[in-house]
Amino acid sequence: MSHNDLSRLSVHTMTNRPWSLAECIENYSSLGIPAMSVWRNVINPEEGGIGIDKAAQLIRTSHLQVPALVRGGFFPASAAEQRAKAIDLNRRCVDEAAALGADMVVLVVGAVPHMPLDEARRQVEDGIIQLLPHAESCRIRLAIEPLHPMYAADWSCINRLREARQLWESIQHELLGVVLDVYHVWFDPELDQEIHLAGEAGKLFGFHICDWRVETRSLRSDRGLMGDGCIDLRGIREKVEAAGFTGFHEVEVFSEEYWNWDQRQYLELITRRYLEAS
Ligand code: ZN
């Protein structure tokens, strides 16, 4: 079944990277898109963003919903001092998410080249445990996003839903769950089972969609828009929904190619592809 309307569509601001937060809000609203997932670069003044107070004000007056602030995480580090800094930064992310009225902070958990992955995972667990009391006081959910194994050296030591599950099972906190991003897990032979287990436990917090381009020209910024690639988007969505997921379908596309397009035309294509191909 294809979608009938845009009522469950959310677009990540990074998808339209050339736009400011104000431009994202204006264009998403005018096309009837009900939600937007906010990346920190559009609010962080050091990256050209408008600051958290203005961002919160713009979002409040827009009536757009904000499923997620993207992104916190990056817990592992060789020195204890750096690990402590990472916790502080994550607490700030949680504060920002609360200010924006977001539901969750997405965690790209981090990794350190040459650090054994099991040590990195131990540090991630420790970092999340330290962060949770603050998340609890702000009522912000933390969603671990497993990343494709090609990012295991430097971005994420959590590469499958199974490893994310090991964390939420071990930590056991109602505010800790996972984001399923089709780009990162579409090939996982355990996908069906893991969707079922996460859904059953109420741990499927987010669902990110895009497509896997054949051939991929860059590991970081050559994602396809839904319908450009080979992922069985409908099949995965049906499984996610059968597992009880009722949240937004968040379009997250890093693409040098599309960032060079006229962004309004691109956004119109995003809505068409959402309806036809996801
Ligand atoms: Zn994602």
Domains with residue ranges and CATH for the chain: 13-277 (3.20.20.150)
Residue 181 parent element (H or E): strand 176-181
Check if the beta carbon of residue 38 is closer than 8 Å to that of residue 69. Answer: yes
The pTM (predicted TM-score) of the whole model is 0.98
C-alpha span between 116 and 76 (Å, rounded):
11
Binned at pLDDT 50, 70 and 90, residue 2 comes out as: confident
pLDDT tens profile 41-87: 999 999 999 999 999 999 999 999 999 999 999 999 999 999 999 99
Q: Provide the pLDDT for residue 118.
A: 97
How far does residue 251's CA lie from ligand 1's centre (Å)?
8
**Average predicted confidence (pLDDT) for the chain:** 97
Summarize the confidence of residues 91-106 as an average pLDDT. 98
How far does residue 80's CA lie from ligand 1's centre (Å)?
28
How far does residue 73's CA lie from ligand 1's centre (Å)?
13
Rg (CA), the chain: 18
Summarize the confidence of residues 15-37 as an average pLDDT. 98
How far does residue 254's CA lie from ligand 1's centre (Å)?
10
Summarize the confidence of residues 113-117 as an average pLDDT. 98
How far does residue 35's CA lie from ligand 1's centre (Å)?
15
How far does residue 229's CA lie from ligand 1's centre (Å)?
16
How far does residue 262's CA lie from ligand 1's centre (Å)?
23
Q: Provide the pLDDT for residue 1.
A: 61
pLDDT at residue 207 greater than cutoff 80? yes
Q: Provide the pLDDT for residue 51.
A: 98
